[in-house]
Amino acid sequence: MCRVIGRAAERHGFAVQLVDAPLQAFDRFLAFQPDLVILDMVMPDIAATEVLRSLLDSGVPTRIVLTTSPGIGEAYLALAEGVARFHGVAPRVLFKPFRIAELIEVLDAEVPPDHLTR
């Protein structure tokens, strides 16, 4: 999923850094300081809410898109949304499976055009 999202975003003009190892996410985030983070709610080794909290605690301004499957508990998704809102971030949610057109629509809505590489 990470690579599919990355390729679609690159083709649409975004500068992309992929991280498929959640324990490395924070260091890469600090180095890249992206305008937008797409974070899957299911990941190995660490809870997505902990990754989200670390990113937002850094103070680096970023927008958040959470990807999840409809089968993920509503309480877990609400917790992640609450963590983001506590930090003044209103996350978007993209439910899987989604089409590339839906992803691009969310990307375009979340990042100002002057932040694109195109």
Q: Does pLDDT of 118 surpass 70?
A: no
Q: Please tell me the predicted confidence (pLDDT) of residue 60.
A: 93
Q: Which residue has the higher pLDDT, 58 or 113?
A: 58
> What are the tens digits of pLDDT across the range 68-97?
988 777 888 899 999 999 999 889 999 989
Whole-angstrom Cα distance, residue 35 to residue 31?
A: 12
3-state secondary structure the chain: CHHHHHHHHHHCCCCCCCCCCHHHHHHHHHHHCCCEEEEECCCCCCCHHHHHHHHHHCCCCCEEEEEECCCCCHHHHHHHHHHHHHCCCCCEEEECCCCHHHHHHHHHHHCCHHHCCC
Q: Please tell me the predicted confidence (pLDDT) of residue 117.
A: 42
The strand ranges marked E within 2-105 are 36-40, 63-68, 92-95
Q: Please tell me the predicted confidence (pLDDT) of residue 79.
A: 93
Domain 2-109: which topology? Rossmann fold (3.40.50)
pLDDT band at 45 (very low <50, low <70, confident <90, very high): confident
- Percent above pLDDT 70 for the chain: 92
pLDDT band at 55 (very low <50, low <70, confident <90, very high): very high
Asked if residues 35 and 43 have their Cβ atoms less than 8 Å apart, the reply is: no
Q: Does pLDDT of 116 surpass 70?
A: no
